[in-house]
């Protein structure tokens, strides 16, 4: 079965994984109906995302959609971020996962307001967060008491990039263990990011990873992206990432 997705112009399509990268759709008699259903799903999502953003801005909250593949280090980066921002930026987190509270538990007690969002609980076990899911979590957060909301999306390099949730910016955590070709293989994700946090940089001496080739591939799909190299283990670059977040909060026009 083909995977639905949107192109940059907002139109929805089904794509099969054929030799040409797009595939032959002629075998599906219901292709047009499938696209129509998907367009309705995206329209509903975009409408709810706009409502989310309006509520966030009314409360003076800046939102970041944080995405990555599984194991890239989102939660570990968030732990260090909360420790550095504590006392200066009031942070809320929507913690997205298919199952368990493991990541939410890791972030507890670090000064952030946390709303756990398991997609298996009434949302079909989806491999991404969408705007209606996030809206259900916003109701459990004291938005007027926050400056920054981080939506930690489900670990996945495909679907999270296709659903806006009402964020003001998108951040992606990329681990150097993943391979320098990933921007070319998953261009929608890398193209959608405002900032790419290149994580686990301390492992470079132990890997056959071409950092220069990665940056060439990244800039080929997203010439305007900001890149920040980090190592949660050593602390390298974490302050630069936190500075990026502080600057984002300061420049949002909805600040109180």
Q: What is the pLDDT along the chain (256 residues), one digit of tens a residue?
A: 334 455 554 544 444 333 333 344 455 566 566 666 667 777 899 999 999 999 999 999 999 999 999 999 999 999 999 999 999 999 999 999 999 999 999 999 999 999 999 999 888 888 999 999 999 999 999 999 999 999 999 999 999 999 999 999 999 999 999 999 999 999 999 999 999 999 999 999 999 999 999 999 999 999 999 999 999 999 999 999 999 999 999 987 654 4
SS3 81: helix
Q: Which long-range contacts (CB under 8 A, 24 or more apart) does 96-99 make?
A: 96/129, 96/133, 96/151, 96/152, 96/153, 96/154, 97/154, 98/125, 98/126, 98/127, 98/154, 99/125
What pLDDT score was predicted for residue 252? Answer: 74
Closest alpha carbon to 204 in 178, 181, 222: 178
d(CA 249, CA 89): 9
What pLDDT score was predicted for residue 148? Answer: 98
What pLDDT score was predicted for residue 34? Answer: 60
d(CA 225, CA 195): 6
What pLDDT score was predicted for residue 24? Answer: 45
What pLDDT score was predicted for residue 38? Answer: 65
Q: Which domains does the chain have, with CATH numbers?
A: 26-251 (3.40.50.300)
d(CA 233, CA 81): 13
Closest alpha carbon to 172 in 202, 150, 195, 200: 195
What pLDDT score was predicted for residue 18? Answer: 38
Helix or strand (DSSP H, E) at 138: helix 131-138
What pLDDT score was predicted for residue 253? Answer: 61
What pLDDT score was predicted for residue 256? Answer: 47
**Residues 172, 197 contacting (CB under 8 angstroms):** yes
């Amino acid at each position: 079965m083909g995977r639905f997705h949107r192109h940059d112009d907002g139109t929805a399509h089904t794509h099969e994984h054929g030799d040409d990268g797009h595939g032959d759709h002629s075998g599906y008699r219901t292709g047009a109906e499938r696209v129509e259903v998907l367009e309705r799903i995206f329209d509903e999502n975009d409408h709810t995302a706009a409502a989310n953003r309006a509520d966030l801005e009314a409360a003076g909250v800046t939102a970041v959609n944080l995405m990555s593949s599984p194991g890239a280090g989102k939660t570990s980066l968030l732990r260090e971020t909360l420790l550095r921002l504590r006392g200066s930026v009031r942070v809320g987190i929507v913690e997205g996962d298919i199952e368990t509270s493991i990541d939410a538990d890791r972030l507890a007690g670090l000064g952030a307001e946390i709303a756990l969002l398991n997609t298996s609980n009434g949302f079909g076990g989806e491999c991404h967060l969408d705007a209606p899911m996030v809206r259900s979590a916003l109701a459990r957060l004291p938005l007027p008491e926050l400056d920054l909301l981080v939506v930690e999306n489900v670990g996945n390099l495909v679907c999270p990039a296709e659903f806006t949730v009402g964020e003001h910016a998108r951040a992606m955590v990329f681990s150097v263990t993943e391979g320098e070709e990933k921007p070319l293989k998953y261009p929608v994700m890398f193209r959608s990011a405002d900032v790419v946090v290149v994580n686990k940089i301390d492992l470079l001496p132990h890997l056959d990873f071409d950092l220069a080739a990665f940056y060439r591939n990244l800039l080929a799909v997203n010439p305007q992206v900001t890149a920040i190299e980090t190592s949660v283990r050593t602390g390298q670059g974490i302050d630069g990432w936190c500075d990026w977040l502080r600057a984002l909060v300061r420049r949002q026009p909805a600040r109180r």
